[in-house]
């Protein structure tokens, strides 16, 4: 069952990654030039921020479980994970259907913009950590995957946006939402079975 818990938690991180990817694709489309001297530290900083929020959530519920303050923590964790999946899916679908006017202008890379994007979705990372702590997921595996996925989605989003623009953004949101809905249903089934 632990592999299933880890898989569900990894899917939460992937869902968060779809959101970050699409946001980074927009930022990449507006860059004059990609500066690796800024991109690499930015990716590492964003991964650190994601890990802080994830570990914060994990630590809170893990400690509650260790001190027997939560009854039936695993089922509660599966239920919370399902709620997170569905909330993220609704958010992604809303973003896919919403047609924001994006002011296209060329700009330099700025760490500040990227940090603000990550902080805007940090509540989902915190909630993912809460669910993982309840389900007793492998924290080191989750941290490793959080770091790796953040670095990959930020880099891919920026490079894709830089090369091809942000036309694929709605499709990315819909694909992410579909995966999250499937994972949410699996999590709900696990909570009630």
CATH number at 156 reads: 1.20.1250
**What's the pLDDT band for 64 if we cut at 50, 70, 90?**
confident
Alpha-carbon distance of 61 to 128, in angstroms, equals: 11
How confident is the model at residue 102, as a pLDDT?
A: 58
Nearest Cα to Cα of residue 19 among 151, 164, 174, 129: 174
**What's the pLDDT band for 151 if we cut at 50, 70, 90?**
very high
pLDDT above 80: residue 107: no
How confident is the model at residue 148, as a pLDDT?
A: 93
How confident is the model at residue 99, as a pLDDT?
A: 65
Alpha-carbon distance of 31 to 47, in angstroms, equals: 21
HEC profile of 134-165:
HCCCCHHHHHHHHHHHHHHHHHHHHHHHHHHC
User: Domain residues for 95?
Assistant: 2-99+108-192
pLDDT above 80: residue 53: yes
Mean predicted confidence (pLDDT) in 51-68: 89
pLDDT above 60: residue 1: no
Please give the tally of structural domains in the chain.
Answer: 1
pLDDT above 80: residue 51: yes
Alpha-carbon distance of 172 to 182, in angstroms, equals: 16
**Torsion 165-159-145-47 (CA) sign:** negative
Q: Report the percentage of the chain scoring pLDDT > 70.
A: 92
- Between 192 and 21, the higher pLDDT residue: 21
């Amino acid at each position: 069952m632990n592999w299933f818990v880890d898989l569900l938690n990894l899917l939460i991180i992937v869902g968060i990654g779809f959101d970050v990817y699409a946001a980074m694709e927009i930022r990449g489309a507006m860059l004059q030039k990609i500066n690796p001297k800024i991109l690499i530290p930015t990716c590492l900083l964003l991964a650190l921020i994601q890990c802080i929020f994830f570990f914060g959530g994990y630590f809170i519920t893990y400690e509650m479980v260790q001190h027997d303050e939560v009854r039936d923590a695993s089922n509660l964790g599966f239920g919370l994970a399902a709620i997170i999946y569905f909330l993220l899916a609704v958010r992604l679908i809303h973003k896919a259907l919403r047609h924001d006017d994006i002011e296209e202008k060329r700009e330099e890379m700025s760490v500040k913009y990227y940090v603000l994007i990550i902080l805007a979705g940090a509540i989902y990372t915190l909630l993912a950590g809460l669910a993982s702590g309840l389900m007793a997921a492998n924290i080191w595996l989750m941290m490793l995957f959080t770091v790796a996925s953040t670095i990959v989605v930020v880099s891919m989003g920026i490079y894709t946006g830089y090369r091809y623009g942000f036309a694929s953004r709605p499709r990315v949101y819909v694909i992410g939402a579909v995966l999250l809905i499937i994972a949410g249903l699996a999590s709900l089934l696990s909570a009630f079975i």
